[in-house]
C-alpha cells in the first residue's frame, strides 16, 4: 500500500512539473497618441468557441495597466492576445516574468457615433508641446511653429482620413504638436496635430488618423505630405 502511494505521489509530481507558473505585467498604450487604453481584453485564444474567443481574459485598468498570473505548458514563452474595439488585435509572445509596454494600432473605421471631419466643429482647448516621440530630437524648428483656432478648424475640415501605412510612409513625424479638445454635435473629442501635416482625433474608444494633402495648407506645417498623384503611384507599395 505504501509503495502504491509512493508511485502515485511521484506520478503527480511528474505531471505537475509539465506546467509552470507565469507572471506578466505592463501597460497598454495607443500607438499614435501614446495614451493609456483601459478595458483592453488580454488572454489566450480559444478557437473552439469563436463567439467567446478568450478562454480566460484580464482587462487593463484605468491607466492601461495589466498584471497576469497563470500556468502554461512552457515556461520560456507565453503567448497573449490584446483586443479592443477600435484597435487591431495584437498577438504578443512574452518571455516569462516580463514587464512590457504594448502599443495598439487604432483602426480607421469611421462610425456614425464618432467624429465626422466634414461636419462643423469648435476648438475648445489649444496647447503646444514638443513631447511627441520622434527620431528627430531637434526642437529648434518648433520654436516659431504655431496654429490658431481658425487654422486648426480649416486644417481638420480640409484633410482626409489615412491608414496606418499611409501615416507611416507619407508623412514626417516631428516632436512638436498642437493638441487639445474640440466639440462636435455636443460631443467632445481630443485632437493632436503633428507639425508633419497629420493629426489624430480621439474618442474614448477609437482614434482616427487624418492627413493634410492640400498644397495651400502646407504653410501651416514644417513638412508636407506627398501629393495625391504621388500617393496614387505609391499605393501598390502601401498595400503590401
Between CA 2 and CA 4 the distance in angstroms is 5
The residue whose grid cell reads 471631419 is 117
**Residue 43 CA, distance from chain mean position:** 18
The pLDDT of residue 10 is 44
Check whether residue 72 and residue 161 sit in a common domain: no
CB 222 within 8 A of CB 145: yes
The pLDDT of residue 110 is 39
C-alpha cell at 93: 509572445
Would 227 be classed as within a structural domain? yes
Would 43 be classed as within a structural domain? yes
CB 152 within 8 A of CB 180: no
* H or E stretch covering 110: none
219-235 residue pLDDT tens:
999 999 976 565 565 55
Q: State the residue range of the domain holding 226.
A: 122-238
CB 214 within 8 A of CB 225: no
Check whether residue 130 and residue 229 sit in a common domain: yes
The C-alpha torsion from 147 through 151 and 152 to 156, rounded to 10°, is: -140
How confident is the prediction for the chain on average, in pLDDT?
81
C-alpha cell at 25: 505585467
Between CA 1 and CA 209 the distance in angstroms is 71
Check whether residue 100 and residue 127 sit in a common domain: no
CATH number for the domain harbouring residue 59:
2.60.40.1120
Would 207 be classed as within a structural domain? yes
The DSSP bridge pattern shows strands 122-123 and 127-129 to be unpaired
Say which DSSP state 36 is in: B
Would 10 be classed as within a structural domain? no
Would 5 be classed as within a structural domain? no
Between CA 167 and CA 239 the distance in angstroms is 13
Kindly list the distances between the CA atom of residue 153 and the CA atoms of 49, 148, 180, 214, in Å, as whole numbers in the listed order.
46, 9, 12, 14
Check whether residue 33 and residue 131 sit in a common domain: no
Check whether residue 170 and residue 127 sit in a common domain: yes
Between CA 105 and CA 24 the distance in angstroms is 21
146-197 residue pLDDT tens:
999 999 999 999 999 998 889 988 999 999 999 999 999 888 999 999 999 9
Kindly list the distances between the CA atom of residue 165 and the CA atoms of 14, 69, 106, 171, 239, in Å, as whole numbers in the listed order.
49, 35, 12, 10, 8
Task: Collapse the DSSP code of 3 into the 3-class scheme (helix H, G, I; strand E, B; otherwise coil) and give the result.
Answer: helix
Check whether residue 233 and residue 127 sit in a common domain: yes
Between CA 94 and CA 75 the distance in angstroms is 10
pLDDT by residue, tens only, the chain of 240 residues: 555 444 444 444 444 445 678 889 999 998 877 889 999 999 876 544 445 555 567 899 999 999 998 877 667 788 889 989 888 889 999 998 889 999 998 876 534 347 888 889 999 999 999 988 877 777 888 999 999 999 999 999 999 999 888 998 899 999 999 999 999 988 899 999 999 999 999 987 788 999 999 999 999 999 999 765 655 655 554 455
Say which DSSP state 233 is in: H
Decide which of 104, 131, 159 is a domain's last residue.
104
* H or E stretch covering 149: helix 149-157
Would 2 be classed as within a structural domain? no
Amino acid at each position: 500500500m505504501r509503495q502504491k502511494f509512493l508511485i502515485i505521489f511521484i506520478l503527480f509530481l511528474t505531471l505537475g512539473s509539465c506546467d509552470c507558473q507565469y507572471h506578466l505585467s505592463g501597460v497598454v498604450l495607443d500607438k499614435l497618441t501614446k495614451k493609456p487604453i483601459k478595458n483592453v481584453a488580454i488572454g489566450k485564444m480559444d478557437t473552439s468557441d469563436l463567439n467567446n474567443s478568450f478562454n480566460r481574459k484580464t482587462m487593463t485598468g484605468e491607466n492601461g495597466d495589466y498584471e497576469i498570473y497563470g500556468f502554461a505548458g512552457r515556461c520560456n514563452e507565453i503567448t497573449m492576445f490584446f483586443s479592443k474595439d477600435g484597435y487591431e488585435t495584437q498577438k504578443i509572445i512574452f518571455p516569462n516574468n516580463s514587464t512590457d509596454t504594448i502599443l495598439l494600432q487604432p483602426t480607421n473605421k469611421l462610425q456614425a457615433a464618432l467624429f465626422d471631419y466634414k461636419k462643423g466643429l469648435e476648438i475648445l482647448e489649444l496647447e503646444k508641446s514638443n513631447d511627441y516621440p520622434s527620431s528627430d530630437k531637434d526642437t529648434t524648428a518648433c520654436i516659431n511653429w504655431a496654429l490658431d483656432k481658425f487654422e486648426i478648424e480649416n486644417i481638420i475640415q480640409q484633410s482626409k482620413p489615412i491608414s496606418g501605412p499611409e501615416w507611416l510612409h507619407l508623412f514626417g513625424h516631428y516632436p512638436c504638436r498642437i493638441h487639445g479638445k474640440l466639440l462636435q454635435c455636443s460631443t467632445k473629442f481630443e485632437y493632436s496635430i503633428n507639425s508633419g501635416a497629420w493629426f489624430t482625433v480621439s474618442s474614448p474608444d477609437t482614434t482616427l488618423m487624418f492627413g493634410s494633402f492640400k498644397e495651400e495648407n502646407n504653410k501651416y506645417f514644417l513638412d508636407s505630405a506627398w501629393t495625391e498623384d504621388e500617393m496614387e503611384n505609391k499605393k501598390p507599395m502601401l498595400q503590401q
